[in-house]
Amino acid sequence: MPPKITQRIANLENSQFSNDIPPLLQRIYLGRGITSDKQLDRSLTKLPKPDNLKGLSEGVSLLAEALRKQQSVLIVGDFDADGATSTALTLLAMGSMGLQNIDFIVPNRFEYGYGLTPEIVALAQQQSPDLIITVDNGTSSINGVKAAKEAGIKVLISDHHLPGTELPEADAILNPNQRNCEFPSKNLAGVGVVFYLLSALRSHLRKAGWFAENNLTEPNMAEWLDLVALGTVADVVPLDQTNRVLVHQGLQRIRAGKTRPGIQALLDLAGKDRQRLVAADMGFALGPRLNAAGRLDDMSIGIECLLANDDYLAREYAVQLDELNRDRRVIEADMQREGLAILDQLNLNGPNEDESDLPWGLCLFDENWHQGVVGLLASRIKDRVHRPVIAFADASTIDSEGKVKDQEYKGSARSIPGLHIRDALEAVASSNPELISKFGGHAMAAGLSLKAVNYPAFAAAFDEEVKRRLISADLEAEIATDGELGTEQLNLETGYLLREAGPWGQHFPEPLFQGEFTIVQQRIVGEKHLKLLLAVDEQKQQLIDAIAFNVDTDIWPNQDADKIRLVYKLDINVWQGRESLQLMVETILG
């Protein structure tokens, strides 16, 4: 079923913009709930103060004590880009503040699963830490924190995932989403929470005279905003004003060449010019390469890449990440073909009909699917059928004799607007306590584990819960555009204006436009990408390039078509040093 096209509401009567903001940008910003210049300020002074971050004083006290006593500190990270940047930031900042004995471990997702589990605590005990700091995890680690406390290890949780009804009994918990936390921005990524914690620690140490007493140069926290920006964008958290400030400032540092050698090495391998870097490049070029380590191997590779101070060493790690990402793409493509085949079997009307026969809450499983890639598969299928999707992989454990010990499935869920996926899982777990072993996540993405024998019952219960929370209209895909651009606006000046008006991202989407053009040329490039030369005017005097990725080659090129209606973004293409405007086609309407 083709998506429904709507236009964002931009009520100019609500505008409080100055004349410095061009009318086109005013319209775009109003469609995203921005009404004044103040909401667009991306300076560091606009970051909210950390004072209302619940647990901050306790967290700072734990870290200050670790520094004074030179305790052994162990970071337990998560196996994604947010976890990797959070881990690297904590290691770099704490080291610069004088901590000598600090290390990290990242749970191997295939062996230990997510978060601070009792098994990870047992592994951590081999290093005899005085303090464990969790970054981008820990809020749901009830048993892991208990095991650590029983072992005499203090625990500081730094996280942003939504809490359940019970919190672990840690020595300090920093999470803007925990109850009674009055911090105004609830959308910080894990690396954003860590940034606030370490910034507050630096202020505390400065007031205490720590740096002067120990002959240490006080660190500039802005030095690591490149890590904060990368983790924030890669974790696809909403870009409210706080996150836009963090991402913008990080981008500015990278563009100026003030970035970690590992990030620069990843940029080089991705073919990205740092001086032209935008937030989307972090999400689609850097993030996947970093995430590939946690999906297929060991996120330690990604962390070491971010920590490397030597260009050569950073390049070595970046090459490993790039190779892993290539492998990930092959695995994902195979899984996607298998997932679509399952969809065809489920859809009684056949593959070319609408998805009316599919469950509203769709669960998919294949015994050969890769645990680290099911989240990407769920996202791809969700985009295709526009309904909540959970993709499962076999995560059964094997004993020493090679026999299946515990038959378990691990799932990764992706949702659509209107359904809070973690809340839906919590409702299923409350109504059916035996079905889910554990779960956690956000509004749009979540993870869970369950016994294999419970999969059919869970799939049915999940579908029922989704049907309770949605109406049929929610299953209709919708694309919101910013209207049409005039002929005089289709130029490089507008392209630059929009490029610098972001950063664009989750809940602050890059501008989308719609329009009809005359086809001058059309051809397929790279097997299934449609390259177009379009005329903006009837006289065909103003021509513009466009490209649509992954088109149906049974339909395009269409030599009978002389007109084409598109939903598109503006992009600035650089070829042999020459810049030109290009339309990046999101949807071909006809």
Residues of the chain with pLDDT under 70: 1, 110, 113, 348-356, 398-402, 404
Question: How far is 354 from 117, CA to CA, in rounded Å?
Answer: 43
Q: State how far the Cα of 363 lies from the Cα of 464, in Å rounded to an integer.
A: 12
Q: What's the confidence (pLDDT) of residue 107?
A: 79
Taking a C-beta distance cutoff of 8 angstroms, is the pair 230, 287 a contact?
Answer: yes
Please name each of the domains of the chain with its CATH number. Answer: 46-322 (3.90.1640.30), 356-476 (3.10.310.30), 479-588 (2.40.50.460)
- Most distant CA pair in the chain: distance in Å? 79
Residue 416 is predicted with a pLDDT of 95
Q: Which residues contact 253 (CB under 8 A, 6 or more apart)?
A: 222, 223, 225, 226, 259
Q: Residue 61: CA atoms inside 13 Å, Cβ hemisphere, count?
A: 8
C-alpha to C-alpha distance for 539 and 543, rounded to whole angstroms: 10
Residue-averaged pLDDT of the chain: 93
Secondary structure (3-state) at 441: strand
Contact 393, 369 (CB under 8 A): yes
The string of DSSP codes covering 113-142 is -SSS-HHHHHHHGGG--SEEEEES--TT-H
CA distance 327 to 249: 33
pLDDT in tens, 533-567: 999 988 888 999 999 998 989 899 998 899 999 99
Residue entry with tokens 């983790």: 231
CA 383 to chain centre: 16
Q: What is the pLDDT of residue 350?
A: 47
Res 15: pLDDT: 86
Question: What pTM was computed for the model?
Answer: 0.92
Tell me the DSSP string of 212-259.
Answer: HHTT-PPP-GGGGHHHHHHHHHHTT----HHHHHHHHHHHHHHHTT-S
* Tokens matching residue 444: 């749009």
Please report the pLDDT score of residue 13 as a whole number.
78
